[in-house]
Amino acid sequence: MTTLCAPPAALRVATVGNPNVGKSSLINALSGANLQVGNWPGTTVERLSVHFRWNEREIDWIDLPGTYSLAGATSEEKITRDELLHHPPDVIVNVVDAANLERNLGLTLELCELGRPMLVVLNLVDEARANGVTIDVPSLARELGVEVVETVASTGIGCEEVKSALVRARPPGWHVSYPEFLQDAARSVQSEHGDASFWQAITWLSEDVAGLNVPAGVLQRRQQLEQIQDPFLSVAEARLSAARGLAGETEQRLNQGPSLTERIDRVLLHRLLGLPLFLLGMLLVFRFTYLFSDPWIGFLDVVKTVLSGWVACLHLPGLLQSFLVHGALDGAGTVAAFSPVLFLLYFALAFLEGSGLLARTTFLFDQVMKWVGLPGRSLIPLLLGFGCNVPAVYSTRILPHFSDRLRVALAIPFMACSARLTVFVLFAAVFFPRHGAVVVLSLYALGLALGLLTAFLTRRLVPAETDQTGIMELPSYRLPSWRAVIRQAWLRTRSFLKDAGGPILGAVLLVWFLHQVPPGPMDRSLYARVSQALTVPLEPLGVHDWRLAGALMPGFIAKEVVVGTLAVSYLGDDPVQPCGFLEGLGQLAGGLGTALKETLLAVPQLVGLPTLPDDSSPQGLQAALGRAVTPAAAYAYLVFLLLYTPCVATLAATRSEFGNRWAFFSLLWQLSVAWLCGWAAYRFWPWP
C-alpha cells in the first residue's frame, strides 16, 4: 500500500551571532542570485533572507541582526530576540568568530538554553589561524552536543558542509551549571509555563529585559530569590565561568607578535596622524567616486542623445516629440544619471563597514561629534553628503538610535553635494574669476557649519534613547567579500531608483508642462509666470531676473539641472538632432567604448587630490549671466541654492526613513535658513 504524504514544509533556518562575524558573507555565499533584501517591519534595520533548495529539501534561510546577548537592548538585538522567541526557527545556526571564541560563546550558551536544534558555524578560521589560534573542533562539538562546521564564508569554504548539516541539527546537550537554588527555581517555572524555554525561565528570574514580559507569579519568585542571593549576579558568574572553561579546553593560542590589525592601527589611529590620514582617506573616496562615475554619466548622456535622435526621426507632432524628448527622456536621464555616483558611494560605504574602518572613524571622531551631541559614527553620513545627499540619508542607518539618525538626516542637506558644485563653478567663473576656489570653499564651509548647527539645535527635538553607551567593538581589519559589497551597493542603488525615480520623473514632466503652456515664446509661458512670482521673495537677495529664480524649480528636482535650465532660459532650446538607427547604434558603441577607456585610464589617477572641475556650460551663458546680476547678488543666489531645499531624491529618502512629518520639517527649515543666509549675504556684502 502506498501512502501519499505532503512534502515536508520548508525548513526555517535563522543565523544568529555577534556583529562582525561574517553572517552576511555566509548568506551571500549560500544564496547566489536569490538574496532578498528588505527591512524588518517598522524599522530601518536591513533584513536579509533567501529561499533555496538543497537535496530535495526547501530551505528558508533568514539572517538575524548581530547581537551580543539575547538580553540585549539595542533595536537590532530586540529584533533578534523577538524573532527567536515568537517565531522560533527549526534550526538555529550560530555563527561564531573563531578568533574570539570565549566572547562569542556567551551568546552560544544562551542560545543552547532555547532548546532548539542548533548548528555552530565556526567562521573566520583563516584569520584565527593567522593569529595563532586553533580550535579543537571535535572537542567543542562534543561538549556542546551540536555539530560544529568550520568555514571561511567570504570565500565560500565550508558552505556545502553547512547545508548538509542543517537537516542533522539537534538540540544541544550543553548546560551551564547554575547554583542549585536557581536551577530548581528555573525548572519549576519552566514546568508551570509549558512552552517557556529554559532561557526564558532563567531570564525571568534574574533580570528585566525590554519587551520580555515576566508573568506575575514568576516576579514574586524572583523577589524571594533576591533574599537569598542576587540571581542576576549568579547567572552572570555562572555563564562567565562556563564560557571561560569551554574556551580554555578547546582553544589553543600561540603567542605571536602584534597582529596585522594592530600594526595598521598603530598608523591609522596614531595620536597625530590619525585625523589627517582619515581626512585624506575621505578625499580619496570622493576622488574614486568622481573618477569612476564621470565616464558613465557621459555615456548615459550619449544614450539620451541617441534616443532623442531616434525619436526625432519619427517626425512626430511637435508637442508629442517635445514631451518624449524634453519630458520623458530628460526625466529618465536625470534619474539614471544618479546611479553611477550612488552605486560608487554605496560601494565605498559597504567597504568601510565591512572592513572595520567605520569603527575606527567612530573612535577618532567621537569627541568631536560629542560637541554637537552626536555619536562619532555620525561623521560618515555627514561626509557622504558632500558626495551626494541621497546615500548619506540612507547611511544614517549605521547609527543605532532614531534621534541620532534624524538629527544627522536634518543636517545632511546642508552639505554641498557634487551637483551643487556645477553651479558654483559656473558662477565663480563669471563673477569671481580670480577667487573661484575661495568662494567655493566658503560655500562648503558655510554648509558644514550650518549642518552642525542644525544637529546641535535639534538635540531637544526628539527624546534621546536611554541606554546610550559608548562602548563599541573595534573589529579586526578584513577584506569584505566583494560579492557582498557589490551586491549591497547594487541593491541599495536599485531601491533608490525605484523610490525616487517616480517623483523625479514626475517633477521633470511638471516643469516641461510649465514650459509648454501656453504655446509661444518662453517669456510668456506658465514657467515664466511662476518664475516671476518666485522672484518676489528673492528680490531682497538682489535677484531680479526671473530666469534665475525659475532655475530653482528644476533645481529642486536635481541640482545638476540648474546649469542646463539657465542655458535654455538665456540661450533658448537646443534643437534635437535626428539620427538614423544605425548611426545611433554606432554612437552608442562609441560612447560605451569611451566610457570603458576612461574608466581604465582613471585607475592610475586614483591617488591625488580632487580638483575643482572646469566650467563646462555652453558658450554665451557666462556672458548672459554676467549681465543678469551683480556679484553680491550672485553670491547670495549661490548661498540660497546651497541651502534652499534638499533635492527631490533626498526628500524622498528622508520621507521613507523618517516619515512625512520630518521630511516636511526638513524642507521648511532649509527654506528658512536659506532665505536668511542669502539675505544676510546680500545685505552685508562688503565688496563691490
- Taking Cα atoms as reference points, which of 260, 263, 336 lies closest to residue 300? 336
Question: 474 vs 624, which CB is nearer to another protein?
Answer: 474
Distances in whole angstroms, Cα of residue 552 to Cα of each of 195, 254, 535, 589, 604: 62, 65, 10, 35, 38
Question: 360 vs 407, which CB is nearer to another protein?
Answer: 360
Question: 359 vs 567, which CB is nearer to another protein?
Answer: 359
**φ, ψ at 606 (rounded to 5°):** -60, -40
Give 260-329 as a DSSP string: HHHHHHHHHT-TTTHHHHHHHHHHHHHHHHHHHHHHHHHHHHHHHHHHHHHHHHT---HHHHHIIIIIII
Q: Least distance from C-beta 96 to another protein, angstroms?
A: 13
Question: 475 vs 542, which CB is nearer to another protein?
Answer: 475
Cα(140)–Cα(144) distance, integer angstroms: 6
Cα(62)–Cα(539) distance, integer angstroms: 57
Residue type, 34: N
Instruction: Tell me the residue length of the chain.
Output: 688
Question: 68 vs 665, which CB is nearer to another protein?
Answer: 68
Q: Least distance from C-beta 444 to another protein, angstroms?
A: 23
Q: Least distance from C-beta 46 to another protein, angstroms?
A: 22
Angle at 78 between CA 77 and CA 80, to 5 degrees: 65
Q: Least distance from C-beta 602 to another protein, angstroms?
A: 33
Place of cell 533584513: 47
CB 564 within 8 A of CB 553: no
Residue type, 170: R
Q: Least distance from C-beta 657 to another protein, angstroms?
A: 26
Cα(666)–Cα(645) distance, integer angstroms: 8
Q: Least distance from C-beta 21 to another protein, angstroms?
A: 13
Q: Least distance from C-beta 256 to another protein, angstroms?
A: 11
* Residue 22 region by backbone torsions, left for phi larger than 0, else alpha for psi between -120 and 50, else beta: left
Q: Least distance from C-beta 239 to another protein, angstroms?
A: 8
Q: Which residues bind another protein (CB under 8 A)?
A: 68-69, 71-73, 99-100, 102-103, 106-107, 131, 133, 207-208, 226, 230, 232-233, 236-237, 240, 244, 261, 265, 269, 271-272, 274-275, 359, 362-364, 366-368, 370, 467, 469-476
Cα Rg of the chain, angstroms: 30
Question: 422 vs 476, which CB is nearer to another protein?
Answer: 476
Distances in whole angstroms, Cα of residue 567 to Cα of each of 419, 422, 574, 604, 670: 16, 13, 9, 35, 26
Question: 190 vs 362, which CB is nearer to another protein?
Answer: 362
Q: Least distance from C-beta 190 to another protein, angstroms?
A: 22
Beta strands, E only, 19-111? 36-39, 46-54, 57-63, 91-97
Place of cell 567570504: 154
- Taking Cα atoms as reference points, which of 643, 621, 445 lies closest to residue 548? 621
Q: Least distance from C-beta 384 to another protein, angstroms?
A: 21
